[in-house]
Amino acid sequence: MAQQVKAVIARAKGAPVEVTTIVVPDPGPGEAVVRIQACGVCHTDLHYREGGINDEFPFLLGHEAAGIVESVGEGVTEVEPGDFVVLNWRAVCGQCRACKRGRPQYCFNTHNAKQKMTLLDGTELSPALGIGAFAEKTLVAAGQCTKVDPAAEPAVAGLLGCGVMAGLGAAINTGGVGRGDSVAVIGCGGVGGAAVMGSRLAGAAKIIAVDIDDRKLETARKLGATHTVNSRTTDAVEAIRELTGGNGADVVVEAVGRPETYKQAFYARDLAGTVVLVGVPTPEMTLELPLLDVFGRGGALKSSWYGDCLPSRDFPMLIDLYLQGRLDLGAFVTETIELDAVEQAFERMHHGDVLRSVVVL
């Protein structure tokens, strides 16, 4: 029996989000219905609402979620009803050229539920990142459910489903930060803050947090930054170079998604250093750099989708570190809110008042 549940949708470009009733079908082959317990508010949800991702309105927003598997469809073996799971947007296929080469973290053919959730009038919804979890229940592909230790707080665990994983992975997986490295992180919201935390976890010797908002720099210190730079008042490139013996950082993570901050990252890294772009640009943005500088500085210019994570490998491990007190994922939960407060949470995010607001159901 299809079920009717409450959910948050974005009906049209720029219009405030609204709570409405949606229809969630029974899980078909390879699918699962998950009762959502918590879902973080990510900048990408706002990008969807503003039409910055695509035009497939109405969107069912929310994608940083944890919950309990309620039912599974035919052929599902990886999870069963009652499992505590974090939802992921990288259900790997096992068949594409990346998977076949043993690099499933780059899977080029990830999958989502085949059936559509709808409005009461039958209008099909586009779930954000194939998840759609600002909802009492959602339908996903079973591979999007990653089992983790149920001792973890849902509001905390869910954050691994997107931004926090993206930031941790940008440093650890994509940037390859290691013991003794110097790291600079430009933009210290939820994603950049997690890159700071990941750098500390990986043993970085120097972690320079850069933001235009002093409140973010203060939290970045708590998350592990050894130095902070307010780039509204100080030249970020000069400051990072000064703090690294005039050389630049081994790894610079750009977690804003703008050409000017990318340029800062490019010039703030040491020779043969690595730039990781984890911030998401919008379609009209372009970048101009002297090609000779690209060549002459050597090293690597990388981008990081989802922190190059493999959910089945990374989520349970990070949750274990959190439960052992070795990774303070709880620091990202600024506030917990109800389903009908997502619009206000966007406002607070826009004003930089929060790392993460988390809807708790």
Ligand X SMILES: NC(=O)c1ccc[n+]([C@@H]2O[C@H](COP(=O)([O-])OP(=O)(O)OC[C@H]3O[C@@H](n4cnc5c(N)ncnc54)[C@H](O)[C@@H]3O)[C@@H](O)[C@H]2O)c1
Residues in the site for ligand X, rule: CB under 6 A?
42-44, 47, 162-163, 166, 186-192, 210-213, 216, 231, 255-257, 261, 278-280, 304-306, 349, 352
Residue 97, token pair as written in the block = 């050229």
Considering the complex, state which of residue 72 and residue 208 has its C-beta at the smaller distance from ligand X. 208
Considering the complex, state which of residue 25 and residue 163 has its C-beta at the smaller distance from ligand X. 163
Instruction: Write b or e for each residue in 133-156: b if 16 or more Cβ atoms lie within 10 A of its Cβ, otherwise e.
Output: bbbbbbbbbbbbbbbbeeebbbbb
Quote the least distance from Cβ 256 to ligand X, whole Å.
5
Interaction partner, residue 304 (ligand X, Zn ion, none; CB < 5-8 Å by kind): ligand X
Euclidean distance between CA atoms 32 and 76, whole angstroms: 8
Interaction partner, residue 189 (Zn ion, ligand X, none; CB < 5-8 Å by kind): ligand X
Considering the complex, state which of residue 30 and residue 163 has its C-beta at the smaller distance from ligand X. 163
Considering the complex, state which of residue 76 and residue 229 has its C-beta at the smaller distance from ligand X. 229
Interaction partner, residue 96 (Zn ion, ligand X, none; CB < 5-8 Å by kind): Zn ion
Q: Write out the residues near Zn ion by the rule CB under 5 A.
A: 42, 44, 93, 96, 99, 107, 109, 162-163
Quote the least distance from Cβ 163 to ligand X, whole Å.
4
Interaction partner, residue 211 (ligand X, Zn ion, none; CB < 5-8 Å by kind): ligand X
Task: Please give the order of strands across the beta sheet that includes 18-24.
Answer: 118-119, 18-24, 3-10, 59-60, 126-127
Euclidean distance between CA atoms 35 and 323, whole angstroms: 23
Quote the least distance from Cβ 320 to ligand X, whole Å.
22
Cα-to-chain-centroid distance, residue 120: 30
Give the angle 182-185-187 at the CA atoms, nearest 5°: 170
Contact, 268 vs 275, CB < 8 A? no
Among residues 237, 30, 226, 33, which one has the least CA distance to residue 127?
Answer: 33
Quote the least distance from Cβ 219 to Zn ion, whole Å.
18
Quote the least distance from Cβ 251 to Zn ion, whole Å.
22
Contact, 276 vs 302, CB < 8 A? yes
Quote the least distance from Cβ 355 to ligand X, whole Å.
6
For ligand X, which residue has the nearest CB?
Answer: 189
Residue 14, token pair as written in the block = 């720029």
Interaction partner, residue 107 (Zn ion, ligand X, none; CB < 5-8 Å by kind): Zn ion
Among residues 257, 261, 296, 278, which one has the least CA distance to residue 177?
Answer: 278
Interaction partner, residue 199 (Zn ion, ligand X, none; CB < 5-8 Å by kind): none
Considering the complex, state which of residue 53 and residue 142 has its C-beta at the smaller distance from ligand X. 53
